[in-house]
Chain A
């Protein structure tokens, strides 16, 4: 019996191991809510599909979207990320340090980067094909990234993955449901059931920030494929729970944060999990500083019940606490709720309410970055990148105060279209208002100047800024170029965009490590949060007004050119054809002939009048100065007067 048991256990174990190693297709759906300090709520949907390696699993899939599988295989993609974003991530109040902000705060419009597993000379071709495929797949004009003026190959500043990486962004791309629908099609349950059924279009598009992201990792082409293809689809939305009607009183900021529920945020509830999903979880994350600020009213942290500051309508299934928090003061907490399929009783509608007012602030990125334009006019200008210290970098200063000169490493990656002709030699750096020599601050810099109509200008830079600085700024001067008339986009008079610069802080790794309690199950989202990643932040998109022609100009140009041509050729032909001498002769002979006639006539008249004939005074001398004789003038005036009188008395 014991033998049988041991055999069976062994068998089970083998089965389990084999199933683990060979892998099954997996799909998980997760949703994270996080209250934000400015009375808004962050909702972060995370869907993950995994396809096992082809060499062990084969080509056919039950769950994994075929379109993505084919895409990966056709263009041999190692890693790819595509994001569609509307609105701006507010780095000041929504944070910039935690994993979600760092990986889901994206620049407005479309951003695409991909790493290919092909020889270097084929990367560009693969990229071009990929943009076209994605353009068709997501109903967006990603194909504009095909042109070599729109993308670049950053060497080292953007994701230390070098070599076969290509990066491009389209700041002006509008994001709408037509981009969301194809994205939802990649999910096994679409938005028919499961968490994605919450995506009520009017409510998710009326938020303050909307970013839909698709991240792809594959090791299909590695010699030893372990993971296969991992497709990670996230949708990050910032919503305002209450309508602004309940206006903050003027008394002060101590006001109860708004309560919310799934149905109040989205106008929908979850009927049950997607049947094909391995797990379906909803999480509520409370930030470290929020937990810290609540501590004084909150005695037993381990249970939220009782005297805590807030409450849920559904009791959480599990709780995870952050360990090794970077923020010494507080640690963040995640409450987990599982959605089960026994939904026959009632739909899942998670609600969250506050009992006491609380204020907190998010952990900001080490520096507050903003980018703006300097100068005016249509000729030249300057880009300025201003970096300001936040309380985080100030705390860093206190921590590292060990006598050594403390430095803060900042990587800057900036792509500038070719018609903005940046003069990289004019780079100037000011720290706390004082001009600094470039060598002191810039550790490494690589620049590839733009080439007209061929490639954009790319600047990659590593700055070492002193920790005790308050503000630093970097300025680059540029000249505005001229475009050919057919290169202007339809809305040229708005101006032209300079895509966001990417600022990263390799010294800092954002990571939330959670102590997983016994009841927790494996969650891809939480494990994503636990990964070490560099903090990234994006600057604003800039709008540069360029000189635009009057677009009715071609017509004017055609007319004026024709006039000039007519004048030129007319006078040229005239000059060539005319013979002055000949004409003189002709005129003289004519004069003579008329002279003879006139002579005759005058003689005749003299005879008739009986007066002695005298030669007529030579041809009227005033012919050149008097074009119009008085008679003609009088006649014209007379006719005009008659017409006038007729009009006046008749009409």
Chain B
């Protein structure tokens, strides 16, 4: 390099795009502050900018027909419900008697009835089974002495249909202890089924599953779906009744599924409501049109108020109210400027929207389905749970009739609408967040907030790298050949830490092999082994000191890559992870170099960044305290891996290594 010093001074003029890049990197601090603030602000703005939902698919024809369900169907359903409840009082052996009664009634409606017997399948941690399709796990059920649970399945064949498609209705009930609400939900399904067995407009077969939820609602439906998609090997189910088919019956490709439930509500005086649960495993959502059509029918047809699950404890949050006030104020100002601009919503709406959004994010991030509809999503079938909450007393016969009529009408109109659609749901969104039952934020909007939040990471990484390069340049000018290799050692460190993260996330599989151990004990073993392996790896690494800036730069870029990857798999996890990880990554600095206030802030961030700490803070903040928090934490982790949640992988392989690296940087002896 024979460049003269003068020429070095006078930098060649770069092209604009590179100049912008250099400019941004040079001002990484302000860029980070601006982007992060904008990201958080955008997140807070979500309830304000959420769009109204609309039925996107025209073929659904939501208003095309009047409900046909008659008093006769309802009175029959009423008889059915009364028989169920009286059976509960009379009979000892409800486990056998209830399916038989349901089967008899289904058969009387000319449905094709069959039983599906299954055993519970314990959820075990299978480390290499994330993201595999459910049919890949064709487990060989080892027959245990456990008794069978029985799903009762009734199928109405579409009179003129070709049997290629089907719509599924699920009513979970506990055969050991049938509650009045479960009986009512069975009754609602019955009233709809009774009508559908007579109509000639069906294009799709209707499958009604009375799912025995003795071993869990999800398990019963999942077992049925597994059986539906595998050749039945366990032969014939012997049945005594003549009207029940002795083989497993199927009906085409499933187009959609509705899980029907009834719940009681304490408060008097409010009108009946409908709760919609939609989150399936790994934050997958059904097509928005399915939710739209249900809420449209419930609101316009039945006059129910529709709710999506929200975090109730947030409704009184002062912070949220304050933000709501600010936005409302801004909205008023904006409206004065130009009445055309619609910005800002009332505080109450904002708080409700915020609570719903947080709940929606939490459930999606957790990756655990919120009901038995989750089992359908594993087979790419759109499904939701609808829960009719009522405060009508069950003893009141008129109230029960009305509920059965209302529920039956709702199911009928929704099914009719889905029946009209001779396609799979594809017109509307699959990636969205709900802020209320009729407001949503689509992927195009929420990605902006996320990208704003993570955008500082690569900028910071580049800035740190170039700064470190300069300082090296200054200090060791003669060791130029090794200049480009200075990231090698930090990368090795980071690879080792990530390897450690992978090992830590696999450890529970081995811990599970230890028989009869307490959750606390297991958690302790887990923590101990993790630390032990970390120290072993640390000693392997050797005590060669590295430049902390380069190390931080590489850490920040791996965090960026991890977060971006996660945002594709499960957005909500990535968003929450980014909220925790981005400030930590941006602020972290060796305590010897940082000021006192900065170190204190770093310490707080590090403490908050630990997954367990987050869990405990959230638990105590929202006050779900039952049992020891350590045990709780263990169960929480257990549920994550049992449900094959990608969040678990994220915590083990992105979040935890980054956190450890941040601590490493904090304690770095410059």
Q: Is A543 a contact partner of B108 (Cβ separation < 8 A)?
A: no
Contact B243 A253 (CB under 8 A): yes
Our pick among A108, A386, A493, A540 for the contact of B231 (Cβ within 8 Å) is A386
A403 within 8 A of B: no
Residue contact A376 to B380, C-beta cutoff 8 Å: yes
Indicate if the CB atoms of A545 and B424 lie closer than 8 Å. yes
Beta-carbon contact of B235 and A370 below 8 Å: no
Residues from chain A with Cβ under 8 Å of B235 in the complex: 432-433, 470-471
Q: Does A298 contact B (CB under 8 A)?
A: no
**Chain B residues near A384 (CB, 8 Å)?**
230-231
Measured in the bound complex, the distance between the Cα atoms of B227 and A473 in whole Å is 14
Asked whether A541 lies within 8 Å of B163 as measured between CB atoms, the reply is yes
Q: Does A372 contact B (CB under 8 A)?
A: yes
Q: Is the CB of B108 within 8 A of A88?
A: no
User: Do B337 and A86 touch across chains, with their CB atoms under 8 A apart?
Assistant: no
Report B548 CB to chain A, min CB distance, Å.
26
- Known contacts A248-B108, A376-B229, A494-B423; A542 and B162 CB within 8 A of each other: no
* Residue pair A495, B253 in contact (C-beta under 8 Å): yes
Q: B337 contacts A651, CB within 8 Å?
A: yes
Segment of B18-26, B456-464, B604-612, B654-662 in the binding face: B18-26
Does A58 reach chain B (CB closer than 8 Å)? no
Of the listed residues A433, A493, A541, the one surrounded by the most CB atoms of chain B closer than 10 A to its CB is: A493
Q: Given B159, B232, B252, B378, which contacts A471 in the complex, CB threshold below 8 Å? A: B232
Does B142 interact with chain A (Cβ within 8 Å)? Answer: no
The verdict on B513 contacting chain A, using a C-beta distance below 8 Å, is no
A88 and B380 form a contact (CB under 8 A): no
Q: Does B12 contact A (CB under 8 A)?
A: yes
B480 CB-CB contact with A under 8 Å:
no
Chain A residues with Cβ under 8 A from B135's Cβ? 374-376
Q: Does A548 contact B (CB under 8 A)?
A: yes
A417 within 8 A of B: no
Partner of A548, one of B200, B231, B339, B426: B426
Could you tell me the distance in whole angstroms from the C-beta of A184 to the nearest C-beta in chain B? 21
Tell me the B89-142 residues at the A interface (CB within 8 Å).
Answer: 104-105, 108, 110, 133-135
Assembly CA distance A378 to B159 (angstroms): 30
| B residues in contact with A374, CB < 8 Å | 135, 229-231
User: Which residue of chain B has the shortest Cβ distance to A243 in the bound complex?
Assistant: B198
Once bound together, how far apart are the Cα atoms of A206 and B159, in whole Å?
9
B212 within 8 A of A: no
Known A-B contacts A370-B250, A376-B135, A495-B253; A88 and B232 likewise in contact (beta carbons under 8 Å): no
Chain B residue with Cβ nearest A649: B336
Inter-chain CA distance A244–B108, complex, in Å, is 11
Chain B residue, CB-CB nearest to A372: B250
Docked-complex contact A651 and B338, CB < 8 angstroms = yes
Contact of B236 among A470, A494, A540, A651 (CB under 8 A): A470
B422 touches A494 (CB 8 A): yes
Shortest CB-to-CB span from B291 to chain A, Å, is 19
For chain A, residues 345 to 378, give those with C-beta under 8 angstroms from any C-beta of chain B.
Answer: 368, 370, 372-378
The listed residue with most B CB atoms (<10 A of its CB), out of A92, A374, A494, A544, is A494
Question: In the complex, A540→B104 CA distance in Å?
Answer: 27
Q: Is the CB of A473 within 8 A of B231?
A: yes
The yes or no answer to A138 lying at the interface (CB within 8 A) is no
Q: How far is the CA of A374 from the CA of B231 in the complex (A)?
A: 8
Q: A86: which B residues are within 8 A, CB to CB? A: 160
Using an 8 Å CB-CB cutoff, how does the interface string of A206-227 with B read, 1 for contact, 0 for none?
1010000000000000000000
Contacting A377 at CB < 8 Å: which of B133, B252, B336, B338?
Answer: B133
Find residues 231-275 in chain B having any chain A CB closer than 8 Å to their own CB: 231-236, 242-243, 245, 247, 250, 252-253
Contacts of A584 in B (CB 8 A): 12
In the complex the two chains form, is A377's CB within 8 Å of B162's CB? no
Closest to A474 in B: B231
Q: Please, which residue of chain B has its CB at the minimum distance from the CB of A378?
A: B380
Within 1-40 of B, Cβ neighbours of A (below 8 Å) are at 12-13, 19, 22-23, 26-27
| Contact with A375, one of B133, B198, B234 (Cβ below 8 angstroms) | B133
Whether a CB of chain B sits under 8 angstroms from the CB of A625 is yes
Contact indicator A253/B164 (Cβ below 8 Å): no
B229 near A625: Cβ-Cβ < 8 Å: no
| Known contacts A373-B229, A473-B231; A88/B236 CB under 8 A | no
Across the interface, name the chain B residue whose C-beta is closest to A92: B245
Residue A587, interface by CB 8 Å: yes
Contact assessment for A497 and B164 in the assembled complex, using a CB-CB cutoff below 8 Å: yes
A105 CB, nearest partner CB in chain B, Å = 14
Task: Establish whether residues B13 and A587, one from each chain, have CB atoms under 8 Å apart when the complex forms.
Answer: yes
CB distance from A390 to the nearest CB of B (A): 10
- A329 on the interface (CB 8 Å rule)? no
**CB nearest neighbor in A for B72:** A247
For the complex, is A296 an interface residue (Cβ under 8 Å from B)? no
| B165: interface (CB < 8 Å) | yes
Q: B552: CB under 8 A from chain A?
A: no
B423 contact from A88, A432, A493, Cβ within 8 A: A493
In contact, A430 and B13 (Cβ under 8 angstroms)? no
In the complex with contacts A386-B231, A587-B13, A543-B380 CB distance below 8 A: no
B26 CB contacts on chain A under 8 angstroms: 625
Q: Which residue of A lies closest to B105 (CB)?
A: A250
Chain A residues 465-514 with CB under 8 Å of chain B are: 470-471, 473, 475, 491, 493-495, 497
B161 at the interface (CB under 8 A from A): yes
Assembly CA distance A545 to B164 (angstroms): 11
Q: Is A627 an interface residue (CB 8 A)?
A: yes
Asked if A171 and B134 sit within 8 Å, CB to CB, the answer is no
- Bound: A377/B165 CA distance, A: 16
Task: Decide: A648 near B333, CB < 8 A? Known: A370-B250, A584-B12.
Answer: yes
Going nearest first, the 8 A-B pairs with the smallest beta carbon separation are: A433-B233, A473-B231, A543-B164, A493-B423, A108-B162, A376-B379, A543-B253, A647-B337
Can you identify 21 A-B contacts, CB atoms within 8 angstroms? A88-B157, A90-B157, A206-B200, A248-B108, A253-B242, A253-B243, A372-B229, A376-B133, A386-B232, A430-B231, A432-B233, A433-B235, A494-B424, A540-B252, A542-B253, A545-B253, A545-B380, A625-B27, A627-B23, A644-B337, A651-B339
